[in-house]
Amino acid sequence: MSQKTDFLIIGTGVAGLSFALKMAEHGRVTLVAKSSLSNNNTSMAQGGIASVVASEDHFENHIHDTLDAGAGLCLPEVVRKVVEDAPMRIRDLQKWGVEFDHRQSDSLGDVDLTREGGHSHRRILHVQDHTGMAIQQALQSRVKENPNIKILENHIALELLTDHDLYPAQTGANRCIGASFLDIENHKLVDVFAPFTMLATGGAGKTYLYTSNWEGATGDGIAMAYRAGCRIANMEFMQFHPTCLFHRQARNFLISEALRGEGAELINAEGRTFTYDFDKRGPLAPRDIVARAIDAEMKTSGAECVYLDIRHKGKDFIKQRFPFIYEKCLSLGFDLAEQPLPVVPAAHYLCGGILTDEHGQTDLPGLFAVGECANTGLHGANRLASNSLLECLSFSHYAYLKILQIKDQVPLPLGQRVDHGLYLHKENADEFMLISHLWDEIRSCMWNYVGIVRSDRRLQRALTRIRNIEVEIAEYYSHFKLHPDTVELRNLATVARLTIECALRRQTSVGTHYNIDHPSQKSDLNPLNSISPNSLNG
């Protein structure tokens, strides 16, 4: 089955939804969700969105904090543009119905601001402790009401479609003309053709054994873009969030950095604070530093976790400021007001991804990428807290402006059916035990060998194993029934390999990439560590 649309958007977090709302004013939009519309990392974001709002704060402060957190690898011109545009993106959200917490009045100047790690001022706008969910719900409501937006849920993306797919004999420049999907519920292939395709597919936290991400964060957009010919950059920079709840029943439950912004301390089992031994900012240092501090403390003491202590703020404050976190922890047997909370680091946010320009345009004409799947130059080697939602909104807007300039020059693709050569009907139930094993093996390998602290030897071992796994996956993908698990597994392995290859090429320790064989940061750091599908020389 094939469909045509003016704008195809893959991914339904804040990047995809905000882009859809703007493009719907200029044509037909098809918005595709891998699962339900609300299943994504945006819905799980607790902290908030960073913007200079307070009179005592200034753009230069936010720019400095972002560059500092990025450890010298951010693109300064990108940082400045995003930071200076942030108040306008906040107004976009308010126009769409997002109501941020306020102190007394409802004017922007009286918005309630919090502070998070790496920020020199209080500049995080929030909706209690479930900001992402509030933004997701507000934008979803607008999307569902818009007659120009067609929503396809439970459709997992398989491949990007290009001119060369339709016309194999064609020479010259290639162009993205849509994507193919598996309709999961009906088990049918669907091709959606469009002159412009947006990847807003999120990150790849599920590459690791322990992560704060939702279950579908398997790097699908990154893997598809790579197979279609796009460069992938800075994959070594996976940010590990310092504080995920240490509990068997809630392995991906994030404990927001805002708790530390409001005065929570990190302590060991003896009750001693230890983060100040690593950085004078203590628990409010950038995430890479705090995560390494926790990792070092756990390895030194042999403990399974450390503890986050906010008891001194009192129950009334905790319940009012962090109602969602408080109730969730209480349901698992922890009272934040009465006891320190056991926490561990977990894979959280990918700072690299599909290489784009300042408009979100990839190497492949017709294909844009925004949000966590993209490498825009904003984050460098480590993301400053609460700059992620801001990046999604900013680059969706920049892509929108760029497409408005060129959309009349690009015709709608012909939309011929593509023969994918994929198996839809051959049963292979007995083989899924091995698929599950390979999935676990990739994630364990990445956690053990490509984690918070790395070495050349461990990286080489990981690369050898992942390459072997890719060979096994290719065999299954070609011969057995097409299934979401096999689609995700193939993407997971591709993203894992790209991460390891980038890590091996980065012969220094910087930001979230720390290699004990290359511990010192060089002064001539390259902000772009890219891999081309046609060459490992980028």
The CATH code of the domain that includes 271 is 3.90.700.10
Q: Are residues 253 and 286 in the same domain?
A: yes
The residue segments making up the domain with residue 473 are 429-531
* Any domain includes 388: yes
| Cβ neighbour number for residue 234 with a 10 Å cutoff | 29
Euclidean distance between CA atoms 484 and 477, whole angstroms: 11
* Any domain includes 423: no
Q: Are residues 230 and 245 in the same domain?
A: no
Q: Is there a contact between 104 and 68 (Cβ–Cβ < 8 Å)?
A: no
Q: Are residues 132 and 260 in the same domain?
A: no
Tokens representing 165 are: 């797919």
**CA-angle at 330, arms to 324 and 333, nearest 5°:** 150
Q: Which letter does DSSP use for residue 255 in this model?
A: -
Q: Is there a contact between 380 and 526 (Cβ–Cβ < 8 Å)?
A: no
Q: Is there a contact between 287 and 385 (Cβ–Cβ < 8 Å)?
A: yes
| pLDDT at site 538 | 39
| pLDDT at site 46 | 86
Q: Are residues 355 and 384 in the same domain?
A: yes
Q: Are residues 386 and 311 in the same domain?
A: no
| pLDDT at site 105 | 47
Q: What is the pLDDT of residues 321-343, one digit of tens each?
A: 999 999 999 999 999 999 999 99
Catalytic residue, chosen from 287, 321, 490, 497, is 287
Domain boundary among 347, 372, 394: 347
* Any domain includes 414: no
Across the chain, which has 538 residues, the per-10-residue mean pLDDT values are 94 98 98 95 91 95 96 96 98 96 63 90 93 96 98 98 79 88 94 97 95 94 97 96 88 87 95 94 90 92 94 95 94 95 94 98 97 97 95 98 93 71 63 84 95 96 97 82 90 98 95 92 76 64
Q: Are residues 32 and 107 in the same domain?
A: yes
* Any domain includes 415: no
* Any domain includes 419: no
Spell out the residues 6+ positions from residue 335 whose beta carbon is closer than 8 angstroms to its own: 329
Residue in this structure with the two tokens 């497409």, named with its chain if needed: 403
| Cβ neighbour number for residue 536 with a 10 Å cutoff | 10
- Give the number of domains in the chain: 3
Q: Are residues 194 and 268 in the same domain?
A: no
Q: Are residues 58 and 133 in the same domain?
A: yes
| pLDDT at site 355 | 98
* Any domain includes 417: no
Q: Is there a contact between 354 and 373 (Cβ–Cβ < 8 Å)?
A: yes
Annotated catalytic residue 103: no
pTM reported for the whole predicted model: 0.92
Q: Are residues 273 and 381 in the same domain?
A: no
CATH number at residue 361: 3.50.50.60
| pLDDT at site 173 | 78
Can you list the alpha helix ranges (DSSP code H) found in 407-431?
A: none
Q: What is the pLDDT of residues 218-255, one digit of tens each?
A: 999 999 999 999 999 999 999 999 999 998 777 778 89
Q: Are residues 357 and 480 in the same domain?
A: no
* Any domain includes 109: yes
For residue 203, the SS3 value is coil
Spacing of C-alpha 351 from chain mean position: 8
Q: Are residues 450 and 342 in the same domain?
A: no
CATH number at residue 474: 1.20.58.100
Task: For residue 107, count CB atoms less than 10 angstroms from its CB and return exposed for 0-12, middle for 13-18, buried for 19 or more.
Answer: exposed
Cα separation of the two ends of the chain: 37
* Any domain includes 178: yes
Q: Are residues 330 and 377 in the same domain?
A: no
- Partner residues linked to 346 by β-bridges: 241
Can you list the alpha helix ranges (DSSP code H) found in 152-270?
A: 163-166, 220-227, 258-261
